[in-house]
Amino acid sequence: MFGRERIVTAAYSCLLEQKWHTFPIEPARFHFSCPVISYQEYARLSNVSPAVFLEYGYDGFSVAGLKGQTFILYNDQSPLCRQRFTVAHELGHLLLRHQGHIRRHEEEADFFASLLLLPDAVLNLLRSRGISLTEAFLMKTFGVSRHTAQYKRAAFTRPPICHPLDQQIEALFFPEICRFASAAQSSFDELEEQYLGYNR
């Protein structure tokens, strides 16, 4: 098993630095020292056909220029949920300082992406507010694929593991969580009203 704590620290630190506090989390919109560019945008800037990038990877990849500047490139013709995951995965490689493509690095980058897009501290807080973390809820609220929602739910059924940055992440997302929790509550209230009205 890879170093979980190190990966949680990297993902949470990234969210805190970016001050990103709403759902879904959009890593392609982070202000980062590493430019994140879509295949189509890069093709427009460079007059290179986007088809060239597809040979490197369907979803995306990162590449370093001659002077060492890293770029993350992603395919913006793929579904949005896939774009989010791809950029988050590539950011994971970068922030975890991976060199070369080995299987453990791919697993770490996937785990990083699942934490960046679906932070455990946020999910725990939603759950404590009575929100059921179904696959459909995770997909809709966090803009992730069914596969990512399933991956997260499988990892999340274990007892929550505390992390020193949990409280800071909870504080960052707290207004958004309250908004969701109250929207969920008012939908229950509406449902109750409809139900009572129906039975009257």
Contact footprint for Zn ion (CB under 5 A)? 106, 109
Least Å distance, CB 189 to Zn ion, is 45
Burial 160-175 (b: 16+ CB within 10 A, else e): eeebebbeebbebbee
Minimum CB distance to Zn ion smaller for 91 or for 149: 91
Burial 115-125 (b: 16+ CB within 10 A, else e): bbbbbbbbbbb
Minimum CB distance to Zn ion smaller for 12 or for 85: 85
Minimum CB distance to Zn ion smaller for 90 or for 166: 90
C-alpha to C-alpha distance for 14 and 144, rounded to whole angstroms = 19
Least Å distance, CB 16 to Zn ion, is 24
Contacts of 155 (CB under 8 A, 6+ apart): 114
Minimum CB distance to Zn ion smaller for 26 or for 106: 106
* β-bridge pairing 36-38 and 70-74: parallel
Least Å distance, CB 105 to Zn ion, is 7
Instruction: Say if CB 137 and CB 143 are below 8 A apart.
Output: no
Least Å distance, CB 89 to Zn ion, is 6
